[in-house]
Amino acid sequence: MNERCLIFDSSSLISLAMNGLLDELKKLKEIFPGKFLIPEEVKREVVERPLKIKKFELEALKLKQLIDQKVLEFPDSVGVQSQELLKKTEEFLNFANGAFFSNVDREIHLIDAGEATCLALNKILDDKGFRTAVAVDERTTRLLSERPENLKKILEKKMHTKIKVKSEDLKIFEGTKIVRSAELMHLAYKKGLIELKDKIILDAVLYALKDKGCAISTEEIETLKKI
């Protein structure tokens, strides 16, 4: 099986919504050879809870529309049932939040249910032969999968203490492919999907995303612009 699935965490969807880039996301889906997936927990974070807060109603309604239009679909559309996903989510939560310890042997809480369910869904689909990736803008989740040694250094600097790591607990995160909203919009730009035409539009989009939620450095942006 080679069907592709891109799984969206709330962080990436919020970044795109806050920057008015959901139309570009919809256009990306039209050319994507697979499904854009959103777990129920992420729906709660980006639609159900924000709809109760006046400040965030508009973005929540726009994201709800993408769900209604099936631009964003749920895991059952690819045969993943809620109980299976719940069980795997608990596994990821336990490993992530039990892998890093402060010098007093206190476990460090790193991720919540939204991030964990995306990683869990990715693992389930990967095991079933799907080609998968997770769209997440939050730095901690990305580093857990890509560079846990860098996460250790960041935590030590932030907490001013030595951090111990249970490396065996991190193996479950290995191989997870992570993309950020910035990379998605870079692709949209390359495909000519960004409606606003100007020679600086890519620069404007990437720095706007950086300012409103996407954990990407200036150096990474400048490198991305050259690709």
pLDDT tens figures, 106-144: 899 999 999 999 999 999 999 999 999 999 999 999 999
216 three-state secondary structure: coil
Instruction: Please report where in the chains the tokens 């689909």 appear, as a residue.
Output: 125
Q: Dihedral of CA 80/41/183/92: which sign?
A: negative
Q: What is the pTM of this model?
A: 0.95
How do residues 158-190 score in pLDDT, each as one tens digit? 999 999 999 898 999 998 999 999 999 999 999
Q: Is pLDDT of 38 > 90?
A: yes
Give residue 106's pLDDT: 84
* Domain ranges (residues) in the chain: 4-180
What is d(CA 121, CA 89) in angstroms, rounded to the nearest whole number? 8
How do residues 20-31 score in pLDDT, each as one tens digit? 999 999 999 999
Give residue 1's pLDDT: 54
What is d(CA 205, CA 32) in angstroms, rounded to the nearest whole number? 21
What is d(CA 202, CA 163) in angstroms, rounded to the nearest whole number? 39
Give residue 102's pLDDT: 87
Q: Name the pairing type of β-strands 164-165 and 100-101.
A: antiparallel
Give residue 113's pLDDT: 95
What is d(CA 212, CA 224) in angstroms, rounded to the nearest whole number? 18
**4-180: in CATH 3.40.50.1010:** yes
